[in-house]
Amino acid sequence: MGDLDPPAAVTTTTPPRRIGILGGTFDPVHIGHLRGALEVADALALDELRLTPSARPPHRDTPQVSAQDRLAMVECAVAGVAPLVVDARELQRDKPSYTIDTLELMRAELAADAQVFLLLGWDAFCGLPTWHRWEELLQHCHILVLQRPDADSEPPDALRNLLAARSVSDPLALKGPSGQIAFVWQTPLAVSATQIRQLLASGKSVRFLVPDAVLAYIDAHGLYRASN
């Protein structure tokens, strides 16, 4: 008998990591943020979905409570809720929270093949042409537009060509680390941070609109009360 061929080498390939990013003021974080994040994380089998509180959002009013309080509430909200985690890097920068800067920093920390998904509500997506270096966003991520059934407005002209060239009908079909856009339908939850702040300012309960741990933090620190 001749010599046997050596066994073929077994090669294993690790699939690329799948990272979601959901930014916002989270003033305060509420069940609408969290339920939407979990739905996307489950639907796209994300390894991690990072809630990223913004310090000085360029397109929003100044948050009502401090960055430290907003960060603490998000940390309370996601504790033990995989794959949701907190990314506090925007609070550590002493300048406006530009999403392109955050994406560049995150990209530098990840493997080249990691897939990054930036989650945006419909209104935020329609406002993209006003964002700092917005045309570079897709160099670093895919964009997932969280569209509710009642979002029937048309995108601005500046986005029409982008959508025509980059949109994919099925979010699960997004390929590569970045560069495409997909829409994800969301369960409509009629909850807003503005509504929660107004209820608290008038002394009313917000139980079941925010996680119990967040409510306990708000109560312990007297946040959003009329005297604040």
Please say whether the beta carbons of 72 and 108 come within 8 A: no
Domain range summary for the chain, segments of one domain joined by +: 16-219
Quote the pLDDT of residue 136. 97
Taking the complete model, does pTM exceed 0.85, yes or no?
A: yes
Quote the pLDDT of residue 61. 72
Quote the pLDDT of residue 12. 64
Per-residue pLDDT of the chain (228 residues; tens, 9 = 90+): 556 666 665 556 889 999 999 999 999 999 999 999 999 999 999 999 999 999 866 666 788 899 999 999 999 999 999 999 999 999 988 777 799 999 999 999 999 999 999 999 988 999 999 999 999 999 999 999 998 766 667 888 989 999 999 999 999 999 999 999 999 988 778 899 999 999 999 999 999 999 999 999 999 999 999 764
Quote the pLDDT of residue 181. 97
Tell me the H-state helices in 79-132: 99-109, 122-126
d(CA 193, CA 63): 11
Quote the pLDDT of residue 59. 62
- φ/ψ of 71, rounded to 5, equals -65, -45
User: CB 216: neighbour CB atoms within 10 A?
Assistant: 12
3-state helix/strand/coil string of 133-147: CHHHHHHCCEEEEEE
Please say whether the beta carbons of 141 and 103 come within 8 A: yes
Quote the pLDDT of residue 228. 45
Q: What is the rounded end-to-end Cα distance, in angstroms, of the chain?
A: 89
Quote the pLDDT of residue 96. 77
Instruction: Print burial letters for 60-91: b (CB count within 10 Å at least 16), e (below 16).
Output: eeebbbebebbbbbbbbbbeeeebbbbbbbbb
d(CA 75, CA 81): 10
Quote the pLDDT of residue 97. 75
> What 3-state class would DSSP assign to 172?
helix
Q: Hey, what CATH topology would domain 16-219 get?
A: Rossmann fold (3.40.50)
